[in-house]
Structure 1
């Protein structure tokens, strides 16, 4: 039987892997189509893929059981999955106030932690010119955000999770991004041991491992 979902992803793109991890945590069957950067035959900047995601980026998800509904943007995809396919509220609560707490940390990853870390990686590794002021700014902001995560994970009642004292989509949204920190020479085991312990706890989960976790360059 064909999988229910087709996930378009990239072997190193953290946003694709966090969708895969949510799918696995919910026990949903999917197949992954790995895309490449650029406008080559398998690229994200081709008319064929831009018909799926007009922004020409991963991830994108097609739900074949719901009229081939096609979604893009990782946050929108994940919220769709938990609202439609998480009736037991394993990853996303039913109560609207609790949803707001989860959403706060979930959107913080997408609007704060992820963009700062992404820019830090870009200016450290890929920008054609060395711009120390830009690199230093984004690395410093990543350190600041790691202190925010540490404070939350160590707060009273957190139970070592970001929201509601249990694992939610908030935690899943951060995991793959945290795994890239070594690329900007941040050693979280040494400098942010609470975040490191949280990461290892996440990676030990059977569903996370089933997602094949994702490559880290």
Structure 2
């Protein structure tokens, strides 16, 4: 019997939920360690991931500790997707799936993350930075739209069914209206195939459950939609409160 995989997460960030989505879809048992933002770069988590970034996993079934979402997803597929529910057995399709996963972790994730940072979290508003990263978000969406539009129905990045490559894009695409500062009804303008692709995945029970877990953990930590404690006006204010708390612990 498979023992639960321990997954270290921080509820607000998108990256943790790529891994949870895959785990849920594979039906694997898991247990969560939910970290507050201020504890991500502290022990005990830095003993698991010295880089101090979530997610990370500890798998007692293989004695494997692993961090970086791309590596974790590839591991979960190799170890637990023997029936190729979310992957392919064929060499060509395996490599194409990995290609899209690498595009997600090197292209979508960093640009969307920087867009979030400069739009909402940076102490000073820098219009040129906000514009640059919003343009990069649109560029990535344009790449996805062009590729999906050229595919026959049903439209997936690789082959004729959903794989881990498709799933990896879902968490960051889930809040486009916030990233691009547009009304909800306008976030999919010009990218109808991305919308259909995205919504076909977010309607799955595995994603719905993942987001229910995320919402519960956010509530437990008293966090607003932006990942900051409710009532906090800015990320700078949040950082100052963390620094004050750390100083108080050092000099009680």
Could you say what secondary structure the match of 1:93 adopts? coil
Could you say what secondary structure the match of 1:50 adopts? helix
CA distance in 2, matches of 1:25, 1:72: 20
Q: Matches of residues 69-148 of structure 1 in structure 2 within 5 Å?
A: 69-148=64-143
Match of 2:168 in 1: 173
CA distance in 1, matches of 2:28, 2:45: 23
CA distance in 2, matches of 1:162, 1:4: 30
Extract structure 1 runs of 4+ deviating beyond 6 A: none
Give structure 1 stretches of 5+ with no counterpart: none
Could you say what secondary structure the match of 1:32 adopts? strand
- TM-score scaled to structure 1, two decimals? 0.91
- TM-score scaled to structure 2, two decimals? 0.79
CA distance in 1, matches of 2:21, 2:67: 16
Contact 1:3 1:31 (C-alpha < 8 Å) held by counterparts: no
CA distance in 1, matches of 2:211, 2:121: 26
Q: Name which one, 1 or 2, has greater alpha-carbon Rg.
A: 2
Alignment root-mean-square deviation, CA = 1.8
Which of 56, 71, 96 aligns to 1:60? It is: 56
Match of 1:27 in 2: 27
Task: Give the number of aligned pairs.
Answer: 212
Give the C-alpha shift of residue 129 in structure 1: 1.2
Task: Please give the per-residue CA displacement for 1:52-103, whole angstroms capped at 9, x wherever unaligned.
Answer: 1101110001111112x11100111110000010011111212221111111
Give structure 2 stretches of 5+ with no counterpart: 216-224, 227-252
Task: Please give the per-residue CA displacement for 1:186-206, whole angstroms capped at 9, x wherever unaligned.
Answer: 543334222222221101112
Contact 2:188 2:195 (C-alpha < 8 Å) held by counterparts: yes
Match of 1:182 in 2: 177
CA distance in 2, matches of 1:142, 1:19: 22
Match of 2:206 in 1: 207
Greater shift, 91-100 or 72-81, is seen at: 91-100
- Distance verdict in 2 for CA 1:109–1:130, change over 3 Å: same
CA distance in 2, matches of 1:156, 1:61: 34
